[in-house]
Amino acid sequence: MTQLVRMFVIVFVVSFGLIYLTSYLNDSEGYSGSNTLTIYNWGDYVDPELLDRFEDETGIKVIYQTFDSNEAMMTKIGQGGTTFDVSIPSEYAISKMKEDGLLLKLDHSKLPNLKYIDPRFMNLSFDPDNAYSIPYFWGTVGIVFNPELVGDLTFSSWNDLWDKSLRNQILLLDGAREVMGMGLNSLGYSLNDTEEAHLQEAKAKLLQMTPNVKAIVGDEIKMLLANEEAAVGLVWSGDASEIMDENDKLDYIVPEEGSNLWFDNMVIPKTAKNIEGAHQFINFMLDPEVAAQNAEYVGYSTPNEAALALLPEEIASDERFYPDEELTERLEVYDNLGKRMLAHYNELFLEFKMHKK
Ligand code: N2P
Protein backbone atom coordinates (compact mmCIF):
# COMPACT_ATOMS: atom_id res chain seq x y z
CA MET A 1 0.00 0.00 0.00
CA THR A 2 1.34 3.34 -0.86
CA GLN A 3 1.65 6.03 1.76
CA LEU A 4 -1.27 7.93 0.21
CA VAL A 5 -3.68 4.98 0.24
CA ARG A 6 -2.75 4.19 3.86
CA MET A 7 -3.53 7.78 4.82
CA PHE A 8 -6.95 7.60 3.10
CA VAL A 9 -7.80 4.40 4.94
CA ILE A 10 -6.87 5.97 8.27
CA VAL A 11 -8.95 9.12 7.60
CA PHE A 12 -11.88 6.93 6.47
CA VAL A 13 -11.79 4.71 9.58
CA VAL A 14 -11.37 7.62 11.99
CA SER A 15 -14.24 9.60 10.41
CA PHE A 16 -16.64 6.66 10.59
CA GLY A 17 -15.57 6.01 14.16
CA LEU A 18 -16.39 9.61 15.08
CA ILE A 19 -19.77 9.55 13.35
CA TYR A 20 -20.67 6.30 15.14
CA LEU A 21 -19.53 7.67 18.50
CA THR A 22 -21.56 10.87 18.09
CA SER A 23 -24.74 9.00 17.25
CA TYR A 24 -24.14 6.58 20.13
CA LEU A 25 -23.79 9.48 22.57
CA ASN A 26 -26.92 11.13 21.20
CA ASP A 27 -28.94 7.99 21.83
CA SER A 28 -27.56 7.28 25.26
CA GLU A 29 -26.28 9.43 28.05
CA GLY A 30 -25.06 12.18 25.73
CA TYR A 31 -27.43 15.08 26.39
CA SER A 32 -29.04 16.13 23.15
CA GLY A 33 -32.27 15.85 21.17
CA SER A 34 -34.91 14.14 23.28
CA ASN A 35 -32.53 14.09 26.22
CA THR A 36 -32.77 17.79 26.93
CA LEU A 37 -35.65 19.95 28.07
CA THR A 38 -35.56 23.71 27.68
CA ILE A 39 -37.62 25.56 30.27
CA TYR A 40 -38.48 29.26 29.97
CA ASN A 41 -39.74 30.59 33.30
CA TRP A 42 -40.05 33.78 35.36
CA GLY A 43 -36.97 34.60 37.44
CA ASP A 44 -36.91 33.10 40.99
CA TYR A 45 -39.86 30.89 40.19
CA VAL A 46 -38.70 27.33 40.89
CA ASP A 47 -36.65 25.56 43.54
CA PRO A 48 -33.42 24.69 41.64
CA GLU A 49 -33.10 21.50 43.68
CA LEU A 50 -36.27 20.24 41.98
CA LEU A 51 -34.69 20.72 38.56
CA ASP A 52 -31.75 18.55 39.71
CA ARG A 53 -34.19 15.96 41.01
CA PHE A 54 -36.08 15.90 37.71
CA GLU A 55 -32.77 15.39 35.87
CA ASP A 56 -31.77 12.53 38.22
CA GLU A 57 -35.14 10.80 37.97
CA THR A 58 -35.55 11.05 34.19
CA GLY A 59 -32.02 11.36 32.76
CA ILE A 60 -33.27 14.46 30.93
CA LYS A 61 -30.91 17.43 31.05
CA VAL A 62 -32.67 20.71 31.87
CA ILE A 63 -31.66 23.91 30.12
CA TYR A 64 -33.16 26.81 32.05
CA GLN A 65 -33.82 30.38 30.90
CA THR A 66 -35.79 33.17 32.55
CA PHE A 67 -37.92 36.18 31.59
CA ASP A 68 -39.27 39.06 33.64
CA SER A 69 -42.53 39.91 31.90
CA ASN A 70 -45.25 38.21 29.89
CA GLU A 71 -44.62 40.72 27.12
CA ALA A 72 -40.90 39.83 26.82
CA MET A 73 -41.72 36.10 26.90
CA MET A 74 -44.41 36.37 24.21
CA THR A 75 -42.15 38.40 21.94
CA LYS A 76 -39.33 35.88 22.23
CA ILE A 77 -41.51 32.82 21.64
CA GLY A 78 -43.39 34.59 18.85
CA GLN A 79 -40.19 35.51 17.01
CA GLY A 80 -39.23 31.84 16.67
CA GLY A 81 -35.65 30.61 16.54
CA THR A 82 -35.96 29.24 20.10
CA THR A 83 -36.57 25.68 21.31
CA PHE A 84 -38.51 26.21 24.52
CA ASP A 85 -40.29 23.04 25.63
CA VAL A 86 -42.13 24.44 28.68
CA SER A 87 -43.04 27.99 29.68
CA ILE A 88 -45.20 29.59 32.40
CA PRO A 89 -47.25 32.56 31.16
CA SER A 90 -50.06 34.33 33.03
CA GLU A 91 -53.70 33.97 32.02
CA TYR A 92 -54.07 36.91 29.58
CA ALA A 93 -50.82 35.89 27.90
CA ILE A 94 -52.08 32.30 27.58
CA SER A 95 -55.22 33.56 25.92
CA LYS A 96 -53.17 35.68 23.51
CA MET A 97 -50.66 32.91 22.76
CA LYS A 98 -53.52 30.53 21.97
CA GLU A 99 -54.95 33.11 19.60
CA ASP A 100 -51.54 33.53 17.91
CA GLY A 101 -51.12 29.77 17.51
CA LEU A 102 -48.10 29.68 19.82
CA LEU A 103 -49.22 26.81 22.07
CA LEU A 104 -49.52 23.05 21.63
CA LYS A 105 -52.49 21.07 22.93
CA LEU A 106 -51.69 19.02 26.01
CA ASP A 107 -52.18 15.27 26.34
CA HIS A 108 -53.94 14.89 29.71
CA SER A 109 -53.39 11.11 29.67
CA LYS A 110 -49.71 11.93 30.31
CA LEU A 111 -50.58 14.11 33.29
CA PRO A 112 -52.07 11.75 35.90
CA ASN A 113 -51.07 14.14 38.71
CA LEU A 114 -53.51 16.71 37.37
CA LYS A 115 -56.04 15.21 39.79
CA TYR A 116 -54.29 17.02 42.64
CA ILE A 117 -55.22 20.49 41.37
CA ASP A 118 -58.04 22.23 43.24
CA PRO A 119 -61.01 22.28 40.80
CA ARG A 120 -61.50 26.02 41.36
CA PHE A 121 -58.26 26.64 39.42
CA MET A 122 -59.30 24.41 36.52
CA ASN A 123 -61.39 25.21 33.51
CA LEU A 124 -61.03 29.01 33.81
CA SER A 125 -62.23 31.21 30.98
CA PHE A 126 -58.77 31.87 29.48
CA ASP A 127 -58.34 28.13 28.83
CA PRO A 128 -61.54 26.06 29.02
CA ASP A 129 -60.86 22.37 29.82
CA ASN A 130 -57.19 23.27 30.39
CA ALA A 131 -56.55 22.15 26.85
CA TYR A 132 -53.33 24.22 26.72
CA SER A 133 -52.29 25.07 30.25
CA ILE A 134 -51.89 23.57 33.72
CA PRO A 135 -52.00 25.61 36.98
CA TYR A 136 -48.58 26.36 38.53
CA PHE A 137 -49.01 29.28 40.98
CA TRP A 138 -51.60 31.98 41.60
CA GLY A 139 -51.77 35.18 43.59
CA THR A 140 -52.61 38.84 43.90
CA VAL A 141 -50.93 42.21 43.42
CA GLY A 142 -50.69 44.49 46.45
CA ILE A 143 -48.66 46.75 48.69
CA VAL A 144 -45.84 45.55 50.91
CA PHE A 145 -44.81 48.10 53.54
CA ASN A 146 -42.52 48.57 56.48
CA PRO A 147 -44.55 50.08 59.37
CA GLU A 148 -41.36 51.39 61.01
CA LEU A 149 -40.49 53.50 57.96
CA VAL A 150 -43.86 55.09 57.19
CA GLY A 151 -44.64 57.04 60.35
CA ASP A 152 -48.36 57.18 61.06
CA LEU A 153 -49.38 56.21 57.56
CA THR A 154 -51.47 53.05 57.27
CA PHE A 155 -52.31 51.27 54.05
CA SER A 156 -55.75 50.25 52.87
CA SER A 157 -56.16 52.09 49.55
CA TRP A 158 -54.06 52.47 46.40
CA ASN A 159 -54.37 56.22 46.98
CA ASP A 160 -52.22 55.94 50.12
CA LEU A 161 -49.25 55.57 47.77
CA TRP A 162 -49.67 59.19 46.66
CA ASP A 163 -49.14 60.48 50.22
CA LYS A 164 -46.51 63.24 50.26
CA SER A 165 -44.69 61.65 53.19
CA LEU A 166 -43.59 58.77 50.93
CA ARG A 167 -41.19 60.86 48.84
CA ASN A 168 -38.63 58.54 47.22
CA GLN A 169 -39.87 55.62 49.31
CA ILE A 170 -41.71 53.43 46.80
CA LEU A 171 -40.38 50.64 44.62
CA LEU A 172 -42.57 49.41 41.76
CA LEU A 173 -42.40 46.04 40.08
CA ASP A 174 -41.57 46.40 36.41
CA GLY A 175 -44.89 45.34 34.86
CA ALA A 176 -47.07 47.29 32.42
CA ARG A 177 -50.37 45.71 33.48
CA GLU A 178 -49.57 45.97 37.20
CA VAL A 179 -48.52 49.63 37.17
CA MET A 180 -51.30 50.73 34.79
CA GLY A 181 -53.72 48.60 36.85
CA MET A 182 -52.66 50.47 40.00
CA GLY A 183 -53.36 53.80 38.27
CA LEU A 184 -56.74 52.65 36.94
CA ASN A 185 -57.85 50.98 40.20
CA SER A 186 -56.86 54.07 42.22
CA LEU A 187 -59.35 56.05 40.10
CA GLY A 188 -62.06 53.44 40.56
CA TYR A 189 -61.68 52.07 37.02
CA SER A 190 -61.26 48.46 35.99
CA LEU A 191 -57.74 47.22 35.35
CA ASN A 192 -59.09 46.00 32.02
CA ASP A 193 -60.40 49.45 31.06
CA THR A 194 -59.92 50.31 27.40
CA GLU A 195 -61.43 53.79 27.27
CA GLU A 196 -58.77 56.19 26.06
CA ALA A 197 -59.84 59.01 28.39
CA HIS A 198 -59.56 56.69 31.40
CA LEU A 199 -56.15 55.38 30.29
CA GLN A 200 -54.83 58.94 29.87
CA GLU A 201 -56.25 59.85 33.28
CA ALA A 202 -54.48 56.85 34.80
CA LYS A 203 -51.18 57.83 33.18
CA ALA A 204 -51.53 61.42 34.41
CA LYS A 205 -52.27 60.13 37.91
CA LEU A 206 -49.22 57.86 37.79
CA LEU A 207 -47.07 60.81 36.74
CA GLN A 208 -48.15 62.60 39.92
CA MET A 209 -46.74 59.68 41.87
CA THR A 210 -43.23 59.97 40.43
CA PRO A 211 -41.73 62.01 43.32
CA ASN A 212 -42.57 59.07 45.59
CA VAL A 213 -41.14 56.43 43.24
CA LYS A 214 -37.57 55.51 44.04
CA ALA A 215 -37.21 52.97 41.24
CA ILE A 216 -39.00 50.53 38.95
CA VAL A 217 -37.21 47.21 39.34
CA GLY A 218 -37.21 43.48 38.59
CA ASP A 219 -36.69 40.60 40.99
CA GLU A 220 -34.20 42.66 43.04
CA ILE A 221 -37.27 44.40 44.51
CA LYS A 222 -37.37 41.62 47.14
CA MET A 223 -33.81 42.18 48.31
CA LEU A 224 -34.20 45.98 48.32
CA LEU A 225 -37.38 45.94 50.42
CA ALA A 226 -36.10 43.28 52.81
CA ASN A 227 -32.94 45.37 53.31
CA GLU A 228 -35.10 48.43 54.05
CA GLU A 229 -33.79 50.41 51.07
CA ALA A 230 -37.36 51.66 50.61
CA ALA A 231 -40.45 51.67 52.81
CA VAL A 232 -43.10 50.50 50.36
CA GLY A 233 -43.41 48.30 47.27
CA LEU A 234 -45.92 47.37 44.59
CA VAL A 235 -45.39 43.61 44.41
CA TRP A 236 -46.86 40.24 43.51
CA SER A 237 -48.11 38.41 46.61
CA GLY A 238 -45.52 35.64 46.51
CA ASP A 239 -42.69 38.17 46.40
CA ALA A 240 -44.25 39.84 49.46
CA SER A 241 -44.27 36.50 51.25
CA GLU A 242 -40.59 35.98 50.46
CA ILE A 243 -39.70 39.52 51.56
CA MET A 244 -41.56 38.97 54.84
CA ASP A 245 -39.65 35.72 55.39
CA GLU A 246 -36.45 37.76 55.19
CA ASN A 247 -37.72 40.69 57.27
CA ASP A 248 -40.70 40.07 59.49
CA LYS A 249 -41.33 43.75 60.18
CA LEU A 250 -42.99 44.07 56.79
CA ASP A 251 -46.65 43.46 56.00
CA TYR A 252 -48.76 42.98 52.86
CA ILE A 253 -52.24 44.23 51.94
CA VAL A 254 -54.49 44.07 48.91
CA PRO A 255 -56.10 47.54 48.51
CA GLU A 256 -59.79 47.87 49.18
CA GLU A 257 -60.68 49.29 45.72
CA GLY A 258 -59.65 45.96 44.27
CA SER A 259 -56.63 44.61 42.52
CA ASN A 260 -55.45 41.83 40.28
CA LEU A 261 -55.97 38.12 40.76
CA TRP A 262 -53.58 36.23 38.50
CA PHE A 263 -52.89 32.66 37.45
CA ASP A 264 -49.61 31.40 36.03
CA ASN A 265 -49.94 28.11 34.17
CA MET A 266 -47.47 25.70 32.56
CA VAL A 267 -47.72 25.46 28.76
CA ILE A 268 -45.91 23.74 25.90
CA PRO A 269 -45.02 26.38 23.29
CA LYS A 270 -45.08 25.43 19.66
CA THR A 271 -41.28 25.80 19.65
CA ALA A 272 -41.04 22.57 21.70
CA LYS A 273 -38.60 19.88 20.56
CA ASN A 274 -39.22 17.47 23.43
CA ILE A 275 -42.98 17.19 23.82
CA GLU A 276 -42.78 13.91 25.73
CA GLY A 277 -40.25 15.36 28.19
CA ALA A 278 -42.38 18.51 28.57
CA HIS A 279 -45.34 16.37 29.72
CA GLN A 280 -43.01 14.49 32.08
CA PHE A 281 -41.85 17.79 33.58
CA ILE A 282 -45.38 19.19 33.99
CA ASN A 283 -46.51 15.96 35.65
CA PHE A 284 -43.44 16.03 37.93
CA MET A 285 -44.25 19.59 39.06
CA LEU A 286 -47.83 18.47 39.86
CA ASP A 287 -46.64 15.82 42.30
CA PRO A 288 -47.91 16.98 45.74
CA GLU A 289 -44.55 16.73 47.49
CA VAL A 290 -42.74 18.49 44.65
CA ALA A 291 -45.40 21.21 44.44
CA ALA A 292 -45.30 21.74 48.23
CA GLN A 293 -41.49 22.03 48.25
CA ASN A 294 -41.67 24.45 45.33
CA ALA A 295 -44.35 26.60 47.02
CA GLU A 296 -42.34 26.77 50.22
CA TYR A 297 -39.20 27.72 48.32
CA VAL A 298 -40.61 30.44 46.05
CA GLY A 299 -43.24 31.76 48.49
CA TYR A 300 -46.10 31.76 45.97
CA SER A 301 -49.56 30.23 46.48
CA THR A 302 -50.07 26.73 45.14
CA PRO A 303 -53.23 25.68 43.31
CA ASN A 304 -52.39 22.05 44.20
CA GLU A 305 -54.85 20.91 46.90
CA ALA A 306 -52.76 17.93 47.96
CA ALA A 307 -49.61 20.09 48.15
CA LEU A 308 -51.42 22.71 50.24
CA ALA A 309 -52.27 20.00 52.77
CA LEU A 310 -48.54 19.27 53.11
CA LEU A 311 -47.54 22.89 53.78
CA PRO A 312 -46.94 24.15 57.33
CA GLU A 313 -50.16 25.43 58.89
CA GLU A 314 -48.85 29.02 59.19
CA ILE A 315 -48.40 29.20 55.42
CA ALA A 316 -51.61 27.42 54.37
CA SER A 317 -53.80 29.46 56.70
CA ASP A 318 -52.26 32.86 55.95
CA GLU A 319 -55.13 34.79 54.35
CA ARG A 320 -52.79 37.39 52.91
CA PHE A 321 -51.50 34.70 50.53
CA TYR A 322 -54.42 32.29 50.46
CA PRO A 323 -57.24 34.89 50.39
CA ASP A 324 -60.78 33.71 50.98
CA GLU A 325 -63.51 33.91 48.38
CA GLU A 326 -64.84 37.21 49.73
CA LEU A 327 -61.55 38.92 48.87
CA THR A 328 -60.99 37.13 45.58
CA GLU A 329 -64.44 38.24 44.43
CA ARG A 330 -63.32 41.87 44.73
CA LEU A 331 -60.37 41.16 42.45
CA GLU A 332 -60.15 41.16 38.69
CA VAL A 333 -58.31 38.83 36.37
CA TYR A 334 -56.50 40.50 33.46
CA ASP A 335 -58.37 40.10 30.17
CA ASN A 336 -56.57 39.52 26.93
CA LEU A 337 -57.21 43.05 25.62
CA GLY A 338 -55.98 42.20 22.14
CA LYS A 339 -52.73 43.01 20.40
CA ARG A 340 -53.33 46.74 19.89
CA MET A 341 -54.64 47.50 23.36
CA LEU A 342 -51.87 45.49 25.05
CA ALA A 343 -49.32 47.43 23.01
CA HIS A 344 -51.04 50.66 24.07
CA TYR A 345 -50.83 49.71 27.78
CA ASN A 346 -47.12 49.05 27.23
CA GLU A 347 -46.63 52.39 25.52
CA LEU A 348 -48.32 54.30 28.36
CA PHE A 349 -46.26 52.40 30.92
CA LEU A 350 -43.05 53.18 28.99
CA GLU A 351 -43.94 56.86 28.91
CA PHE A 352 -44.36 56.76 32.69
CA LYS A 353 -41.05 54.90 33.06
CA MET A 354 -39.21 57.37 30.85
CA HIS A 355 -40.54 60.25 32.87
CA LYS A 356 -39.23 58.57 35.99
CA LYS A 357 -35.65 58.31 34.62
C1 N2P B 1 -41.81 35.50 40.05
C2 N2P B 1 -42.75 36.26 39.22
C3 N2P B 1 -44.15 35.84 39.37
C4 N2P B 1 -44.99 36.44 38.36
N5 N2P B 1 -40.57 36.16 40.22
C6 N2P B 1 -46.43 36.60 38.71
N7 N2P B 1 -47.19 36.47 37.58
Q: What is the mean pLDDT of residues 76-94?
A: 97
Same domain for 3 and 111: no
Tell me the per-residue pLDDT of 169-186, one tens digit each, with 9 for 90 and over: 999 999 999 999 999 999
Residue 325 pLDDT level (bands cut at 50, 70, 90): confident
- The closest of 254, 276, 274 to 328, measured between CA atoms, is 254
Same domain for 342 and 237: yes
Tell how far the Cα of 23 is from the centroid of ligand 1, in angstroms: 40
Locate the ligand 1 atom nearest the alpha carbon of residue 43 and give its number: 5
Rounded Cα gap, residues 106 and 171, in angstroms: 38
State which of 42, 126, 321 you would mutate to test the pocket of ligand 1, scoring each by most atoms of that ligand within 8 A of its C-beta.
42
Same domain for 147 and 65: no
Same domain for 97 and 40: yes
Q: Which residues line ligand 1 (CB under 6 A)?
A: 42-45, 90, 219, 236, 262, 264
Mean pLDDT of the chain: 92
Rounded Cα gap, residues 233 and 252, in angstroms: 9
**22 pLDDT more than 70:** no
> How many CB atoms within 10 Å of residue 325?
7
Locate the ligand 1 atom nearest the alpha carbon of residue 90 and give its number: 7
**13 pLDDT more than 80:** no
Tell how far the Cα of 11 is from the centroid of ligand 1, in angstroms: 54
What percent of the chain stands above pLDDT 70? 90
> How many structural domains are present in the chain?
3
Tell how far the Cα of 265 is from the centroid of ligand 1, in angstroms: 11
Tell me the per-residue pLDDT of 197-228, one tens digit each, with 9 for 90 and over: 999 999 999 999 999 999 999 999 999 999 99
Same domain for 351 and 255: yes
Q: What is the mean pLDDT of residues 285-306?
A: 98
Q: Which residue has the higher pLDDT, 22 or 155?
A: 155
Q: Is 354 exposed, middle or buried, given 0-12, 13-18 or 19+ CB atoms closer than 10 A?
A: exposed
Residue 26 pLDDT level (bands cut at 50, 70, 90): very low
pLDDT of residue 15: 55
pLDDT of residue 348: 98
Residue 10 pLDDT level (bands cut at 50, 70, 90): low
Rounded Cα gap, residues 149 and 159, in angstroms: 18
State which of 87, 264, 302, 334 you would mutate to test the pocket of ligand 1, scoring each by most atoms of that ligand within 8 A of its C-beta.
264
- Cβ(262)–Cβ(10) below 8 Å: no
pLDDT of residue 355: 85
Torsion angle in degrees (nearest 10) through CA of 227, 231, 237, 243: 10
Same domain for 344 and 290: no
Q: What is the mean pLDDT of residues 245-260?
A: 96
Same domain for 112 and 69: yes
**337 pLDDT more than 80:** yes
Same domain for 103 and 10: no
Rounded Cα gap, residues 217 and 172, in angstroms: 6
Tell how far the Cα of 12 is from the centroid of ligand 1, in angstroms: 54
Residue 27 pLDDT level (bands cut at 50, 70, 90): very low
**326 pLDDT more than 90:** no
Same domain for 108 and 231: no
Same domain for 182 and 62: no
pLDDT of residue 4: 56
CATH code of 207's domain: 3.40.190.10
The boundaries of the domain holding residue 49 are 35-137+266-316
Buried b (16+ CB within 10 A) or exposed e, 171-203: bbbbbbbbbbbbbbbbbebebbbeeeebbebbb
Give the ranges where 219-287 is alpha helix by DSSP (H).
221-226, 237-246, 275-286
